[in-house]
Structure 1
Amino acid sequence: MGSCVSTEPGEESLKTQKSAGMLKKGKSGKNDVVGNIGNIGGLSAVGGDDGDFEGGSTNANDFVKKASIKMDEKNANKMKKPAPNLCPTCEKDITHAESVKRALGSTWHPECFVCPKCKKDMRREDPVEKDGYPFHEKCFIEEFGTKCGICNEVVVGEQMEALGKTYHPKCFVCDVCTQPLKGQIHHENGKLYCNADYVETFKPRCGGCEKALAGFFIVALDQKFHKDCFTCAKCKTVLQEYEEHEGKPYCEMCDPNRKAFVCSICEIDLTGKSYLENLWKEPYCQEHDGLYPLCTVCNTMVCQLPRKGEPPRCKHCTENTNVDSDKTKEILEKVLNDLKQCGLTIPKTFPVRLVDQAKINTYASKVHKGMPSCTRFDGPDPMEILVRKGMVVEEVESAIAHEVGHIYLNLNGYPKLKPIVEEGVSEMFRVKYLEQQVDPEPGFGFGPQIRPDALERIKRVAENQSMIFGGGYRGLLEGMKSARMSLPQALEHIYKHTWFPS
């Protein structure tokens, strides 16, 4: 499965692309062209500092013009300092010389007062001093002057400074169009670029039309595309979701791996037709809606006729009733971990045992008889959770979450509560667990969403007409809303007052 990222200009450089957002899964399992809204704007390369320049960008208005002699800082300590009592040029003792020349803070043999670079006599010249040595101005500039950032020749006279470098005016032009640089400028690989030519030269290119990308673009299959260039490899339809085959994107209809998309009841091809789905994504024709019974476990449309003498069950619930003791341990751990995310923790755990309904009725309280689960107590202490055999995994999870509510109240020393309060708390534990069950295939743009079957179970709790179970849950929920309390806060209130907050 692949994902796509859309981006736009304005916030980051070409070399530091970012994205943030969400992947969408389509209704029938397709990959979506979407997603993360980031950008590649700025149209600038990433440069080093002035001392180790790699590349960069600035505004042409930031450059300055100068006409002075500027010394290259890298050559600032190149000359050797003259030693006292020695001629700086020949380095011989000058103490007893017949004649000397005193200049630039040192004493010289007259014939040794020469330019260190061209070796010409400097006694009748106006020297430029560098570290106590006399230079002709031309020699000084050649030896120590600042080099142009493009041609590497010494810059004399008018010069342009930008991006931490100095340039001849004739070199301060775009390397591509040779026009004087204005506005946003860029330096890359030893060359200067105007903004338009830099974008054309360095900006990422579309994997479809191969033109430079600008504005929003899509990232998919390790390539970047204009949104209108990301099309099906066969029919050329612009893709909003896609299937990948041999590195190419296809629409659902052209996908070489596509399986027949048929009604789960009559097996008529649903391609291009409107259809409905039950909780478990089983598609069926609209005309079948209401003609088949609802599943007695999950209350969704049953897409097959029930077996004779058995209650109607959907395909999912028929195939997922093989819960064993090992599975119950895994389920209990999952329930406890998910409830912990809501701030609901019990100090120790208890085994879960699968039994028939008669066994549950033996240990269940009066209000719990006939329910698919109960907690078996030894005196005041809980011993184990009993769950009816033959239930699907999701129903077992829901039942265990309810029983954990009872155990929580017991282990935390709550006073004896009226059945409506205790069952209301336990039903709230069930709902909080169900709210953690996220659909692995969320709808686009809405973030993680609760699984449809979990939503159905929450609905059953909220609409339960039992005064004890449904009434208790609604009483607690309304009290939390009225008092603006979280569940942990409401539980503290119940501990103190043995009744719902209000």
Structure 2
Amino acid sequence: MDTVVAAPVCTVCGRRPVTAYRLSLRGEVTCAEHPVRAECMFCARTHDDPAPPGWRPFTAGMMRCPRCLVDAVETQREARLHLPSVRRQMTEIGLELPERVRVRIVSPQEAEAVAGPLATGVLLGLTEQLIGGEEGTRVTGISIVAGMPPTYFGRAVAHEIGHAWLALRGRAPVDDVVEEGVCELFAYAWLRRRGTPMALQLRSRLGANPDPVYGGGFRMVHQAVQRHGIATVLDRLLTTGGLR
């Protein structure tokens, strides 16, 4: 017997779109005729109500839809369920930290209090370092903002592990664009291993990011890796602080 696949219905009106529609990163559809008064910052699902039922704030002006709330990593206990696989996959990529670095869950407000507000984008994680002294650079911890779906959580952890790896390997001073680009490359590699539809969409977005530091840095590092290979690029980065 043939399997009948139901056509997707609009997340707002519950009807099948008859003309154009918007598609979330999870593959959910919303009729294009509905005005956008709320948008999930994670999957880009939209709604015509500025405060839709079941949605919750993430940061000021940023909302999360019900699907992204279901399995969001909100607590340290929930983080411990996901961290072993992220660490293992980063080790398989070749990014094993020479010492254990604690990953803790913090509120968006706590993260911003340490790092300060970003000029653009939303702060999702940060790596705290002590630089100088007899011990050189020490990584005191990685902080990840609470409330992200697992794919976003893993992407943020992979990026911050990149910062910790560079610091603990005693790398030469690195330009911010290059360092963020390298860490985005590590996140890109993790997303590839994750392999979910949302991970694939995030990889595509990462490559097209217009931000000159994160997007521009990633494209520059990615091109260098395509020309010379990851081992050569990382060796140059550790010894010279640059890509050449």
Q: Please state if 1:351 is matched with 2:102.
A: yes
Aligned match for 1:291, one of 26, 34, 37? 34
Q: Where in structure 2 are there 5+ consecutive unaligned residues? A: 132-136
CA distance 1:353–1:280, shift in 2 (3 Å): same
CA distance 1:480–1:405, shift in 2 (3 Å): same
Contact 1:303–1:314 (Cα < 8 Å) also in 2: no
Contact 1:292–1:303 (Cα < 8 Å) also in 2: yes
Aligned match for 1:456, one of 201, 206, 224? 201
Q: Please state if 1:470 is matched with 2:239.
A: no
Q: Where in structure 1 are there 5+ consecutive unaligned residues? A: 1-231, 233-238, 240-250, 254-258, 439-450
Contact 1:414–1:495 (Cα < 8 Å) also in 2: yes
C-alpha separation between the residues in 1 aligned to 2:111 and 2:208? 24
How far the C-alpha of 1:461 sits from its partner, in A, is 2.4
**Count of residue correspondences:** 229
Task: State the TM-score, normalizing by the size of structure 1.
Answer: 0.40
C-alpha separation between the residues in 1 aligned to 2:231 and 2:48? 44
Q: Please state if 1:425 is matched with 2:168.
A: no
RMSD: 3.3
Aligned match for 1:410, one of 167, 173, 180? 167
How far the C-alpha of 1:498 sits from its partner, in A, is 1.6
Question: Amino acid of the residue matched to residue 282 of structure 1?
Answer: E
Q: Please state if 1:321 is matched with 2:72.
A: yes
Contact 2:192–2:199 (Cα < 8 Å) also in 1: yes
C-alpha separation between the residues in 2 aligned to 1:466 and 1:268? 37
C-alpha separation between the residues in 2 aligned to 1:262 and 1:467? 37
Q: Please state if 1:490 is matched with 2:233.
A: yes
Q: Please state if 1:307 is matched with 2:51.
A: yes
C-alpha separation between the residues in 2 aligned to 1:353 and 1:329? 9
How far the C-alpha of 1:261 sits from its partner, in A, is 7.0
C-alpha separation between the residues in 2 aligned to 1:290 and 1:413? 54
CA distance 1:396–1:261, shift in 2 (3 Å): closer
Ranked by relative contact order (alpha carbons within 8 Å, sequence separation 6 or more), the top structure is 2
Q: Deviations over 1:419-465 (max 9, x none)?
A: 11211111111111111112xxxxxxxxxxxx332233223322333
2:224 aligns with: 479
Contact 1:372–1:388 (Cα < 8 Å) also in 2: yes
CA distance 1:365–1:421, shift in 2 (3 Å): farther
Q: Please state if 1:337 is matched with 2:93.
A: no
Q: Which moved more, 1:393-402 or 1:404-413?
A: 393-402
How far the C-alpha of 1:381 sits from its partner, in A, is 0.6
C-alpha separation between the residues in 1 aligned to 2:144 and 2:180? 17
Aligned match for 1:398, one of 119, 137, 155? 155
Aligned match for 2:123, one of 371, 389, 392? 371
C-alpha separation between the residues in 2 aligned to 1:402 and 1:368? 19
Contact 2:34–2:48 (Cα < 8 Å) also in 1: no
How far the C-alpha of 1:357 sits from its partner, in A, is 2.9
CA distance 1:489–1:295, shift in 2 (3 Å): farther
How far the C-alpha of 1:375 sits from its partner, in A, is 1.0
1:194 aligns with: none
SS, match of residue 500 in structure 1: coil
How far the C-alpha of 1:275 sits from its partner, in A, is 8.1
C-alpha separation between the residues in 2 aligned to 1:315 and 1:361? 25
C-alpha separation between the residues in 1 aligned to 2:185 and 2:198? 17
How far the C-alpha of 1:274 sits from its partner, in A, is 10
**1:256-295 pair list within 5 angstroms:** 262-268=9-15, 278-283=24-29, 288-289=31-32, 291-293=34-36, 295=39
SS, match of residue 374 in structure 1: strand
C-alpha separation between the residues in 2 aligned to 1:377 and 1:385? 9
Q: Which has the larger radius of gyration?
A: 1
How far the C-alpha of 1:493 sits from its partner, in A, is 1.8
Q: Deviations over 1:447-491 (max 9, x none)?
A: xxxx3322332233223333222221111112222xx23323310
How far the C-alpha of 1:276 sits from its partner, in A, is 7.4
C-alpha separation between the residues in 1 aligned to 2:130 and 2:67? 37
C-alpha separation between the residues in 2 aligned to 1:474 and 1:344? 20
1:384 aligns with: 141
Contact 2:8–2:28 (Cα < 8 Å) also in 1: no
Question: Amino acid of the residue matched to residue 266 of structure 1?
Answer: C
Contact 1:329–1:351 (Cα < 8 Å) also in 2: no
Q: Please state if 1:437 is matched with 2:174.
A: no
Task: State the TM-score, normalizing by the size of structure 2.
Answer: 0.77
Greater fraction of residues in helix = 2
C-alpha separation between the residues in 2 aligned to 1:487 and 1:366? 32
How far the C-alpha of 1:368 sits from its partner, in A, is 8.9
SS, match of residue 436 in structure 1: helix
C-alpha separation between the residues in 2 aligned to 1:262 and 1:491? 47
How far the C-alpha of 1:408 sits from its partner, in A, is 0.7
Q: Deviations over 1:54-92 (max 9, x none)?
A: xxxxxxxxxxxxxxxxxxxxxxxxxxxxxxxxxxxxxxx
